[in-house]
């Protein structure tokens, strides 16, 4: 089995950070969104990956090759972003006849991946949501078989959202449906959607079963990313992560602090993730993500997302600034 991870999106909802950093490499609980996904799949036994890259794709490739040198990795370039269906079709030659597990590059879910991989049928990950109109939606029969999938329906007939996990056994039927939809310009919301290809497969008799994920973490916007960071810090039990004594500093767990940081005269936490080689002095930071190689001096930050190589002086309450930024609030 091969895992396909599409990471070609521009991540516009996380601007300005995604001007210089792919969304999949945004830091989260001392890791990155992409590393959390890959680690889950490696633990489940997958060793061959296909990444669909585009925007800032060279950063994705460099990161994966450096961090996971023992994995077999393929990188497929999506020159024009025309939707998830278009992205999947680009992998046809690399995938061949192998079964695939598709995990969207901003999807962090908790489920039994080994059980999903071993299932005798194609499987789609599902989660109940309050407003399913912003998601792909699945309709099930009384035996948990999926009878229909629709992308962002205006009048949903189900509250079961597709979470971005797809185990496909009938890969050739998938690629045939993807090709047919593109040839016939079948789009939803102005894009070629993977959901439409899945519906084509269902109409041609392919059986899909649904499986419910226990948790589904949203990494698409600043506020939900910070919430996810707090949840995962607790989950990874990083309360005791800072092992070095920081001068005149109080650490309130859970906190993740990268290597080479210089922190003094500060209060850090709770729910803070700090990248490598960051300097913090005379500051208070809570409920925030701070990138690597940043400098914070005399600031009070809460609910903030700070990129790498940023310099901040003065007092503030909530910021959302990108990489290579210098701010003086004094």
| Domains of the chain, start order | 2-220 (3.90.550.10), 244-313 (2.160.10.10)
- Considering the entire predicted model, what is its pTM? 0.85
DSSP E strands: which ranges in 176-317? 208-212, 215-218, 250-251, 255-257, 262-268, 272-274, 279-286, 288-290, 295-297, 300-302, 305-306, 311-314
- Quick one: pLDDT at residue 242? 47
Q: Pick 137 or 144 by higher pLDDT.
A: 137
Token pair 């991989």 is found at: 117
The DSSP string of 120-180 is SSEEEEEEE-S-GGGSEEEEE-TTSBEEEEEES-SS-S--EEEEEEEEES-HHHHHHHHHH
Q: Which two tokens stand for residue 289?
A: 């993500």
User: What is the SS3 string spanning 39-86?
Assistant: HHHHHCCCCEEEEEECCCHHHHHHHHHHHCCCCEEEEEECCCCCCHHH
Instruction: Give the integer Cα–Cα distance in Å for 119 and 184.
Output: 32
Mean pLDDT across 72-101: 91
The string of pLDDT tens digits covering residues 25-56 is 888 888 888 999 999 999 999 999 999 998 78
Do residues 235 and 318 lie in contact, with contact meaning Cβ atoms separated by under 8 Å? no
Question: If you search the block for the tokens 């309709």, which residue do you land on?
Answer: 139
CA atoms of 329 and 4, how far apart (whole Å): 44
Question: What mean pLDDT is reported for the chain?
Answer: 87
CA 228 and chain centroid, separation: 11
**Per-residue pLDDT, 240:** 44
Q: Mapping DSSP to helix (H, G, I), strand (E, B) and coil, where does residue 13 land?
A: helix
Task: With cut-offs at 50, 70 and 90, classify the pLDDT of residue 330.
Answer: low
Instruction: Please name the residue that has the structure tokens 């190689």.
Output: 293
Q: What is the pLDDT of residues 153-176, one digit of tens each?
A: 888 888 899 998 999 999 999 999
- At 295 the three-state DSSP class reads strand
């Amino acid at each position: 089995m091969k895992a396909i991870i599409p990471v070609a999106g521009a991540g516009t909802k996380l601007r300005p950070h995604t001007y210089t950093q792919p969304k999949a490499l945004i830091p989260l609980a001392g890791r990155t969104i992409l590393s959390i996904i890959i680690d889950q799949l490696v633990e489940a036994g997958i060793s061959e990956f296909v990444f669909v890259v585009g925007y800032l794709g060279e950063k994705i490739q460099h990161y994966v090759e450096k961090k996971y040198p023992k994995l077999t990795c393929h990188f497929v370039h999506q020159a024009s972003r025309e939707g998830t269906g278009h992205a999947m079709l680009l992998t046809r030659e690399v995938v061949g006849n192998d079964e695939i597990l598709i995990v969207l590059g901003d999807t962090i879910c908790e489920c039994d991946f080994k059980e999903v991989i071993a299932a005798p049928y194609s499987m789609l990950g599902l989660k109940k949501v309050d407003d399913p109109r912003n998601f792909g939606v699945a309709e099930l029969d009384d035996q948990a078989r999926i009878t229909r999938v629709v992308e962002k329906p205006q009048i949903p007939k189900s509250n079961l959202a597709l979470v971005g996990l797809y185990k496909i056994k009938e890969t050739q039927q998938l690629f045939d449906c993807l090709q047919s939809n593109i040839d016939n310009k079948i789009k939803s919301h102005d894009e070629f959607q993977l959901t439409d290809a899945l519906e084509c497969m269902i109409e041609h008799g392919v059986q899909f079963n649904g499986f419910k994920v226990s948790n589904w973490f949203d990494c698409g916007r600043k506020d939900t990313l910070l919430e996810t960071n707090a949840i995962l810090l607790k989950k990874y039990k990083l309360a005791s992560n800072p092992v070095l004594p920081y001068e005149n500093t109080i650490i309130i767990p859970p906190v993740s602090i990268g290597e080479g940081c210089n922190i003094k005269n500060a209060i850090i936490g709770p729910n803070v993730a700090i990248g490598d080689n960051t300097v913090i002095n005379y500051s208070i930071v809570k409920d925030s993500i701070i990138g690597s190689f940043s400098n914070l001096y005399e600031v009070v930050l809460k609910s903030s997302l700070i990129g790498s190589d940023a310099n901040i002086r003065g007092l503030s309450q909530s910021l959302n600034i990108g990489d290579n930024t210098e701010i003086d609030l004094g």
